[in-house]
Amino acid sequence: MSLVIVGSLAFDSIETPRERRERIVGGSGSYCALAASFFTRPKVVGVVGRDFPEETLSFFRRRGIDLKGVEVKPGKTFFWEGRYGEDPNLRTTLRTELNVFQDFRPRLPESYRRADILFLANIDPDLQEEILNQAKNPRLVAMDTIELWIKTKRRALLEVLRRVDIFFANDQEVKMLTGEVNLIRAGRALLEKGPRWVVVKKGEHGVLVLGRDQVFGLPANPTEAVTDPTGAGDCFAGGFLGSLDRESRVDGRSIRRAAAFGSVMASFAIEDFGLERFRRLKRKEIEERLLVFKKLVRF
Amino acid sequence: MSLVIVGSLAFDSIETPRERRERIVGGSGSYCALAASFFTRPKVVGVVGRDFPEETLSFFRRRGIDLKGVEVKPGKTFFWEGRYGEDPNLRTTLRTELNVFQDFRPRLPESYRRADILFLANIDPDLQEEILNQAKNPRLVAMDTIELWIKTKRRALLEVLRRVDIFFANDQEVKMLTGEVNLIRAGRALLEKGPRWVVVKKGEHGVLVLGRDQVFGLPANPTEAVTDPTGAGDCFAGGFLGSLDRESRVDGRSIRRAAAFGSVMASFAIEDFGLERFRRLKRKEIEERLLVFKKLVRF
């Protein structure tokens, strides 16, 4: 079993209604790998500049994350600046500097090519396709995307979608991609485009998983305190795929468990800024929160 | 065990993106009582004009609904006209004619006064309070409201809220009433204002139930086809309170079961226009759909 994650490692400047943090480590690849590292030993593909903190890389390594696929290039690390309103689901991107990501051509190291699970986190669909072409018969391919690619690279995105097993998207993206207002119809329309599973992330409303012959839903962890929503979706995917990497089969049962673990990891991520919550997270807390989710829906 | 429902009986003209219906029977009291009638024998308090169809009243009676508290007055029945967009959660009120509701002073018939459960469906909070003063030690009081009363009769509404056990509201109303964006914080703030349970109806995102020491959540029935969303919230309350009326205790377990039955009844209501779905609904279908909900969240 092995999980390869292709995504970004970044610096984020984040403003919430209560606090502001400058240039803390983030990026879809970082969040996702860290969340997955509580279940398996993920391998990461990405790029950082020389300014990326060695301390963070050691932290990743201590968590069992394989960084062979992370290039260190001269120049500055990808940078994102954003602001959240009182409603944590509403965010504004204030600045994006691609930096070393500008001409990044992701390459799977030889030792990554036979990965069981390949996750194409949010990057340009053309790059996602390139990676996909380098993998050798992965058991499972999953992808994520963002509004930007739906708007600017729709055709390339649909091309990748055709070749993946699991598609992660938030409710807005699912509606935008299909033109459907009803989430179930939208999800079903996406199932027609290739994936076997469509996983709709709905923020404070939880998650909806559609398979060809079943539906699964889970409310979000009921929390009063969202400190920093950044990376929630990536941590959901990390927990989801990390959990799946431990399973012998991909079926309704393991997918449901995966969605529950994904929700658990996302719920931890938002309790602190950046990756901070994972520095002190214990395996026992994960099991305890899974129980919270079980109790939340029991009737 | 007995359940008294105070609400409106009405004519509705409804426009959806696909169809339009003129002057079909609706109203919070009608929807709620009909949904509850699959669990108990509800008693209704309300008013209709001479134009209200005798056929509908017989249908209510056949379903075991006690209409002793429904006055028939000279004049026309309350009328509402509304339009739904592609998103069934967005509706526009086009016209409201109070008619016989104009100077309605609800009175609990003697045989209603010792009701175990009293439900104050959406009507003017002053009338809700009047009714409340007529009841004799109900075991449980529940209330619903709408945006209009939050905006125009906030103080009276908070006065009633102080005296009820269960408060039903949709997510917008909960946020508007508390000024909180986070639903959990908003719900907790409402628990401070009186009720023991706050039940937040979230449409396609399901329901969230907050008690003083527990939280329960359930996604909505995954459906592609919403024919007419009118009355979904009232049917939720009807199924909820009807189910609760059969229980010997009001506690976490029975409240969770009630929320599940409420979701089931709401999910049927929206499958057809007005009250139509309930004319052909079988008890067996209710049990089957409860199983759908159980499967939906099982992991």
Model confidence pLDDT, tens digit, residues B68-78: 999 999 999 99
The reported pLDDT for the residue numbered B231 is: 96
Distances (CA, A) of B75 to A210, B33, B101: 51, 23, 10
B224: pLDDT confidence band, cut at 50, 70 and 90? confident
B88: pLDDT confidence band, cut at 50, 70 and 90? confident
Please name the member of B215, B224, B260 whose beta carbon is closest to the beta carbon of A299: B260
Which domains are assigned to chain A?
3-297 (3.40.1190.20)
Chain B residues bordering chain A (beta-carbon distance below 8 Å) = 86-87, 181-185, 188, 202, 204-206, 208, 210, 214-220, 222-224, 226, 253, 256-257, 259-260, 294-299
One DSSP character per residue, B212-229 reads SS-EEEEPPP--S--S--
CA distance A174 to chain B (A): 14
Q: Residue A27 is encoded by which pair of tokens? A: 């990026």
What is the rounded CA–CA span in Å between residue A204 and residue B163?
A: 30
> What is the ipTM, given to two decimal places?
0.89
Q: Residue B158 is encoded by which pair of tokens? A: 């908070």
The answer to whether residues B5 and B33 touch, using CB atoms and an 8 Å cutoff, is yes
Tell me the CB-side half-sphere exposure of residue A147, using CA atoms within 13 A: 8
B87: pLDDT confidence band, cut at 50, 70 and 90? confident
Q: Which residues contact B179 (CB under 8 A, 6 or more apart)?
A: none
Q: Which residues contact A199 (CB under 8 A, 6 or more apart)?
A: A166, A167, A168, A169, A207, A208, A209, A210, A240, A259, A262
Enumerate residue ranges in chain A where pLDDT < 50: none
Residues of A in contact with B171 (CB under 8 A): none
Q: Do B204 and A224 touch (CB under 8 A)?
A: no
Please name the member of A184, A259, A260 whose beta carbon is closest to the beta carbon of B223: A184
One DSSP character per residue, A32-90 reads HHHHHTTTS--EEEEEEETTS-HHHHHHHHHTT-EEEEEEEESSPPPEEEEEE-SSTT-
Tell me the CB-side half-sphere exposure of residue A253, using CA atoms within 13 A: 4
> Which residue type, as a one-letter code, is found at position A184?
I
> Which residue type, as a one-letter code, is found at position B252?
G
Q: Do A208 and B219 touch (CB under 8 A)?
A: yes
First-to-final CA distance of chain B? 35
Q: Residue B112 is encoded by which pair of tokens? A: 């209603």
Chosen from A18, A205, A287 to mutate, greatest number of chain B CBs within 10 A: A205
Once rounded to an integer, what is the mean pLDDT over residues B6-26?
A: 97
Number of inter-chain CB pairs under 8 A, A vs B: 83
Helix locations, chain A, DSSP H:
28-36, 54-62, 125-134, 147-152, 154-161, 171-178, 183-191, 232-245, 252-269, 276-279, 283-297
* Mean pLDDT of all residues belonging to chain B: 96
**B89 pLDDT above the threshold of 90:** no
Q: Do B206 and A217 touch (CB under 8 A)?
A: yes
What is the rounded CA–CA span in Å between residue B196 and residue A264?
A: 28
Torsion of CA B259, B264, B270, B271, to 10 degrees: 170
Residues of A in contact with B221 (CB under 8 A): none
CA distance B185 to chain A (A): 5
The reported pLDDT for the residue numbered B1 is: 79
Residues of B in contact with A222 (CB under 8 A): 184, 208, 210, 215, 217
The reported pLDDT for the residue numbered A90 is: 84
The whole model's pTM is what? 0.93
Once rounded to an integer, what is the mean pLDDT over residues B254-261?
A: 98
Please name the member of A183, A202, A260 whose beta carbon is closest to the beta carbon of B299: A260
Q: Do A217 and B216 touch (CB under 8 A)?
A: no
B79: pLDDT confidence band, cut at 50, 70 and 90? very high
Q: Do A219 and B208 touch (CB under 8 A)?
A: yes
Residues of B in contact with A220 (CB under 8 A): 217
User: Rounded to the nearest 5°, which phi and psi values hold at B62?
Assistant: -60, -30
